[in-house]
Amino acid sequence: MTTTPSATAPSATVPSATAVPARPGTYRRGLRFLLRRRATVARLAAWSVLETGQTFLLGWALARALDDGFLAGRQDIGLLWLGVAVLGVAAGALGTARVYGAVAGLVEPLRDLLVRRVVERGVRGGDGGAVSRLTQQVEIARDTFAGLIMVSRSFVFTATGALIGLFSLAPVLLLVVAPPLVAGVALFLGTLRPLSRGQEAFLIADESVSARLALVCAGLRDVTAAGAEEPTARDAEALIDREYRAARTLAWWAVPRVLALGIGGQLPLLLLLATAPWTLDRGVSAGALVGALAYVSQSLLPALQNLVHGLGTGGSRLAVVLRRLTHETAQQAVSVEELADEQPDPAAPALEASSLTFAYGPGAEPVLDGLDLTVPRGGHLAIVGPSGIGKSTLAGLAAGLLVPGAGAIRVCGLPARSPRAAARRVLIPQEAYVFSGTLRANLGYLRPDPVPESELADAAAAIGLETLLGRLGGLDAPLDPTVLSAGERQLIALTRAYLSPAPLAVLDEATCHLDPAAERRAERAFATRPGGTLVVVAHRISSAHRADRILVMDGPRTVCGRHEELLGSSPLYRDLAGAWGLPTASQPALALGDADGVDPVAGADLAGDGGHVVAHRAVGQMEFARDLGDRGALGGER
């Protein structure tokens, strides 16, 4: 495994590997979503056709009832046609009831998809607007998508039924009604794009307010202590004012919507009445004219009202919300669907980083800047460096939990975030997770099939789990995580990872609660696992001595090499190795909770630890020699 010179210097350019590939637009994604649910869409259309029969029969039956019945002196015929209209209403009600079930078959899968996307972005990318997206925007998308389907479907089928009915009554009636209807719909559609932009501005402002308030609420004590109440209030007020202006702009777009509704829905009524003498002179019967008025007033006008209010408010909002919820930033590069098409390369290294750059936020200093690293299959790499330098960040990038800001990181030739890469690596973090159940269930959790008894026993022997296994009462004894020590939980997690089929194991200070002998045993087991590759974020300098290569993370002076090479090339590593030396032996220097705040490393075997103590602070923060100021007999540490 090697690092190139760019690993030791900041990278000034963003490599082409990080360019965001072309992504299909929101509308194309929506079309793909519907095509994958063709059966549901077909069922929705079928019930909508039944509902449309009500629209057609309304005007047609009324015209026949007048012309062939009441105006002709045949009350029985008139009543018969009115009865047909009533049957049409009943059939339409049945179709409407079935429509709601079909709509649910489209809406709920969309909501589930969006929730998964928002949670993934929030967890992986530290998305500051995730709260607003989950609590507001996903529900906006769900409700508006349902409303959009209902109003769009209703307008299309209702308008089709009404226009067919007008043509069947008298084609000249269609010439009176269709032109203003088309003009009104065209005017309305012309407002959708600027309305969508206004909706997006409003949602961006809402996310900004949500993120700022979350930050302020979490730091109220600091704001008060620093006397920063007024500037904090001014900043929040500016964001709230921006949201108010965006909302007011949206309100102004109600004017063209009302105009479109008047032209497309109410003007045809006036035209039918104004042109009545002309249409009657051209053979239009009184019944046909009344039927046309019924088509416009009872079908077209309500359908257009629903379309204008539903699509105008909800449709543009839906387009914006979906675009923001499904938008992939440069840090999120490619989608899971695209990553799924990647194929592993048998000759590729176990882990490879090229020009890797990462920062916790757009304005933050990069934690990693232009790092190049190659870990061959079967290799053993130790990562050392002071706390906060980026060791766990690199582990998170390798595990696909974080997304590079630039560059790329690959596992067995696959992008680290791809599903196939996830099956080829296992991450063991500092705080081990153990769930209730049995020890057997915990150990075999990462295996798709039951693990043979002999393999479980071999893994327990390799990692050093036999003592705990005997104390618990065997593999099938009930397991209560609350009664286990932190070191025991780490042993279980390590054995679980050892049994996984993943060839790459990343130990992110996963042995910090073990004594040196137990740590040495666990690392040796992973290093000698057949076909396995080990990357260790070192908790003790002794881990570095056991590795084939050592990555010393020291900001712009990051270097990688063997122990002997680093003694000459890295002042930081020389200080670590020279001060701590090789691990020999140590005993607890002081009682727990002593005045200096130093505890010995927890574990059952404290016969040897020449290079590490654990202070009362976050796990994983290493104390350099001379930090405590008083060098004593135990390797110069207290």
Tell me which long-range contacts 486-491 makes (C-beta under 8 A, separation of at least 24).
Answer: 486/431, 486/432, 486/513, 486/602, 487/513, 487/514, 487/515, 487/518, 487/602, 487/603, 487/604, 489/432, 489/433, 489/434, 489/513, 490/428, 490/432, 490/514, 491/463, 491/464, 491/465, 491/518, 491/522
Residue 473: count of CB within 10 angstroms of its CB: 11
Q: How far apart are CA 47 and CA 614, in angstroms?
A: 69
The whole-number pLDDT of residue 85 equals: 81
C-alpha distances out from residue 111 to 28, 108, 263, 322, 388, Å: 18, 5, 36, 11, 38
pLDDT of amino acid 229: 84
At residue 339, the pLDDT reads: 41
pLDDT of 578: 66
Cα(587)–Cα(475) distance, integer angstroms? 33
Per-residue model confidence (pLDDT) at position 208: 80
Check pLDDT > 60 for residue 73.
Answer: yes
- What's the pLDDT band for 490 if we cut at 50, 70, 90? very high
Q: What is the largest CA-CA distance in the chain?
A: 121
CB 128 within 8 A of CB 211: yes
Question: Which strand (E) or helix (H) includes residue 358?
Answer: strand 351-358
- Tell me the pLDDT tens digit for each residue of 514-559: 899 999 999 999 999 988 999 999 878 888 889 999 999 888 888 8
pLDDT of residue 168: 87
Q: Which amino acid is at 349?
A: P
Least confidently predicted of 16-30, 239-253, 528-542? 16-30
Distance in angstroms (rounded) separating the CA atoms of residues 324 and 555 = 35
* Residue 482 clears pLDDT 80, i.e. is over it: yes
Residue 494 has pLDDT above 90, yes or no: yes
Per-residue pLDDT, 637 = 34
Closest listed residue to residue 354, CA positions, set 116, 3, 1: 3
Give the model's pLDDT for residue 122: 55
Residue 582 has pLDDT above 60, yes or no: no
According to the model, what pLDDT value does residue 426 have?
92
Strands 614-615 and 406-411 turn out to be unpaired
For the chain, domain boundaries? 28-191+253-329, 351-580
pLDDT for res 576: 78
Residue-wise pLDDT tens digits, 34-55: 788 888 888 888 888 877 777 7
Look at residue 525 in the predicted model and tell me its pLDDT.
93
Among 41-55, 68-82, 598-612, which range has the highest average pLDDT? 68-82
Q: What is the mean pLDDT of residues 113-121?
A: 68
Per-residue confidence band for 629, with pLDDT thresholds at 50, 70 and 90: very low
Q: Are 442 and 435 in contact (CB under 8 A)?
A: yes
Pairs from 397-402 (Cβ < 8 Å, separation ≥ 24): 397/353, 397/356, 397/358, 397/368, 398/351, 398/425, 398/427, 398/504, 398/506, 398/535, 399/425, 399/427, 399/506, 400/124, 400/425, 401/123, 401/124, 401/427, 402/124, 402/125, 402/358
pLDDT of residue 506: 94
Identify the pLDDT of residue 153.
Answer: 83
Band of pLDDT at residue 375, cut at 50, 70 and 90: very high
Mean pLDDT of 479-483: 88
Does residue 159 sit in helix, strand or coil?
helix
* Pick among 3.40.50.300, 2.40.40.20, 3.40.1230.10, 2.60.40.1180: CATH of 351-580: 3.40.50.300
Instruction: Choose among 180, 177, 181, 169: nearest CA to 275.
Output: 177
- For residue 5, the model assigns a pLDDT of 36
Question: At residue 615, does pLDDT exceed 90?
Answer: no
What pLDDT, on a 0 to 100 scale, did the predictor assign at position 183?
92
* Structure token digits, residue 199: 């909706």
C-alpha to C-alpha distance for 260 and 621, rounded to whole angstroms: 66
Find the mean pLDDT for residues 241-261: 82
The pLDDT of residue 120: 62
Whether 139 shows a pLDDT value over 90: the answer reads: no
Mean pLDDT in residue range 466-491: 90
Q: What CATH homologous superfamily does 28-191+253-329 map to? A: ABC transporter type 1, transmembrane domain (1.20.1560.10)
Answer whether 399's CB lies under 8 Å from 417's CB: no
Residue 151, classified by CB atoms within 10 Å of its CB into exposed (0-12), middle (13-18) or buried (19+), is: buried
Beta pairing partners, 30: none
Angle at which helix 171-190 crosses helix 192-218, to 10 degrees, equals 40
Q: Which residues contact 113 (CB under 8 A, 6 or more apart)?
A: 33
> pLDDT-based confidence at 599, cuts 50/70/90?
very low
Top pLDDT among 563 and 8 is at 563
DSSP 353: E
Q: The whole model's pTM is what? A: 0.46
pLDDT number for residue 126: 47
Q: How far apart are the first and last CA of the chain?
A: 36
- 463-475 mean pLDDT: 90
Q: Indicate whether 437 pLDDT > 80.
A: yes
Domains 28-191+253-329 and 351-580 equal at CATH topology level: no
Beta bridge partners of 559: 552
- Say if residues 325 and 129 touch (Cβ distance below 8 Å): no
What average pLDDT does the structure give for the chain?
Answer: 76
Classify the C-alpha dihedral 250-254-255-257 as positive or negative.
Answer: positive
Half-sphere exposure of residue 631: CA atoms within 13 angstroms, side-chain side: 9
Highest mean pLDDT among 325-334, 373-382, 569-578, 620-629: 373-382
Share of the chain above pLDDT 90, in %: 18
Separation in Å, CA 613 to CA 60, 479, 520, 545, 552: 90, 30, 16, 18, 20
Predicted pLDDT at 11: 32
